[in-house]
Structure 1
Amino acid sequence: MEQTEQGDVRHRRRTGNEIKAALRDLRIQLALLNHQIGGKLALKDVDLDCLDVLARSGPLTPGALARQAGLHPATLTGILDRLERGGWIARDRARADRRSVTIRVLPDRSTEVIRLYQPMIGAMDDVLADYNEDELTVIADFLKRSTEAGQRANGELGQE
């Protein structure tokens, strides 16, 4: 291998390692942010995760919510009880089959969550403003593919 090619390989490896380290740092910062917001709202991190899934996906059955949030259905029952008592969600029962339940977020409480996340949302808007459309497309693709890689890794660990 030519010296320039070796330098390119080393540079690519170093840059890849910097990206992975930055993702780990971002994960920590987001976990800290979620923990602080959860503390202000008297919610656990997993409660916020469930509210986020519901906010993005719309009303879901408990089974669908458990799958999307990566939770065991028995664990979800306690979370839903806590969120319902706190006025965060409603459990809607179908008229035809009272056993059929759909979970939905109550909009009045959602504004509290959005208000607390607003500084991060604004900061991210500022970061994104520094990139052109082509760069934003690459970043969006990278994050989507990174999420898919995480889903695959989770699936593999779940099969062990």
Structure 2
Amino acid sequence: MSFIESHLGDARQRRRLITGIRESLRELGLHLSLLNRQVSSRLELKDIDVDCLDLIDRHGPISPSALARSAGLHPATLTGILDRLERGGWVARERDPSDRRAVLVQALRTRNSELYGLYAGMSTSMNQICDGYSDAELQVIADFLTRSAQAGRAAADDLTSG
């Protein structure tokens, strides 16, 4: 095999790997969406409600306007979501101690066990998968996923603003 043929084979193999990764990410996105839909249904919430609850849990306490930006939602749409989450005992709206005119949304921990229980199967599976990788491999995977999430966020922001 010539040097050129070897490099062509390497390039084809790399394209196949990248295509496989893209397909796997699409498959993962689909199945996580289906899982979230099942969780939402069990909790009698809308899918977007659970997405917002996750954002509040990870970034809260958070202002409604910052949450709307993070979720890519119109503030009026977010008001309805927050009303449902508050009625369900998932979040509380409180005055911002640094600016009494402002409101912050905070996740309430009283129902966390219910939520975490619905994700327990996936969490256990992820722990088992991660156990099969070295720390160095996990660092590469974590970097890839972080950068992929940032790319997804940038693409969503582009569609929102354009």
Alignment TM-score, normalising by the size of structure 1: 0.94
Distance 1:82 1:13, change over 3 A: same
Aligned sequence identity (%): 51
Q: CA deviation at 1:109?
A: 1.2
Name stretches of at least 5 consecutive residues in structure 1 with no aligned partner. Answer: none
Distance 1:57 1:146, change over 3 A: same
**Count, aligned residues:** 160
Mapped to 2, the partners of 1:95 and 1:136 lie a distance apart of 40
Mapped to 2, the partners of 1:154 and 1:108 lie a distance apart of 32
**Any residues of structure 2 matched to 1:3-22 within 5 Å, and which?**
3-22=5-24
1:73 counterpart letter in structure 2: P
Mapped to 1, the partners of 2:98 and 2:144 lie a distance apart of 45
Contact 2:94 2:104 in 1 (8 A): yes
1:47 counterpart letter in structure 2: D
Q: CA deviation at 1:159?
A: 3.1
The 3-state SS of whatever aligns with 1:2 is helix
Mapped to 1, the partners of 2:59 and 2:42 lie a distance apart of 24
Moved over 3 A (4+): 94-99
Mapped to 2, the partners of 1:102 and 1:129 lie a distance apart of 38
Alignment TM-score, normalising by the size of structure 2: 0.93
Q: CA deviation at 1:69?
A: 1.6
CA RMSD of aligned residues (A): 1.5
1:21 counterpart letter in structure 2: E
Name stretches of at least 5 consecutive residues in structure 2 with no aligned partner. Answer: none
The one-character-per-residue Cα deviations of 1:5-30 (angstroms, maximum 9, x if unpaired) are 00110110011000000000000110
